[in-house]
Amino acid sequence: MLKKIDHIGIAVKNLDEALKFYEEKLGLKATGTEVVEEQKVRIAFLPLGESKLELLESTDPEGPVAKFIESRGEGVQHIALRVDNVEEKVKELEEQGVRLIDKTPRYGAGGARIAFLHPKSTYGILLELCQRDE
Ligand code: ZN
């Protein structure tokens, strides 16, 4: 079951610079930064009400976030939907013929279990399914 928008992922060229804007100008507070090797990113979450913003900086010119910025520029890169059981949801969607990037959930920042759906199936947005205990 889908619960809420867990976070909105924003691709940025320079995480520290972007944080300055989101913290100093907008008054949000990052919960720290984390490197997620598997996705070649360094990220920060900024909680905002029921949801969060996730700023993502690529740690590798070949990484998905670097490629995204190269072709589309900085900006909204994905939207994450909170699910109560990511494994189940992925299986359910696969059975319905939905195109998935991850057929098996993987590690996501902050200890979440995540899986991405292909933008070809979602009308143009990279959707992340995200399960976390909180
Ligand atoms: Zn995310």
pLDDT at 37: 93
User: Ligand 1 mean position to 96 CA, how many Å?
Assistant: 24
What's the rounded Cα separation, in Å, for the pair 42 and 48? Answer: 20
* Overall number of domains in the chain: 1
Q: Ligand 1 mean position to 128 CA, how many Å? A: 6
For the stretch 83-108, pLDDT in tens is: 999 999 999 999 999 999 999 999 99
| Ligand 1 center to 91 CA (angstroms) | 20
Range of the domain at 22: 2-131
- Distance between CA 104 and CA 71 in Å, rounded? 27
How many CA atoms does the CB half-sphere of 73 hold within 13 Å?
1
CATH number, domain with residue 26: 3.10.180.10
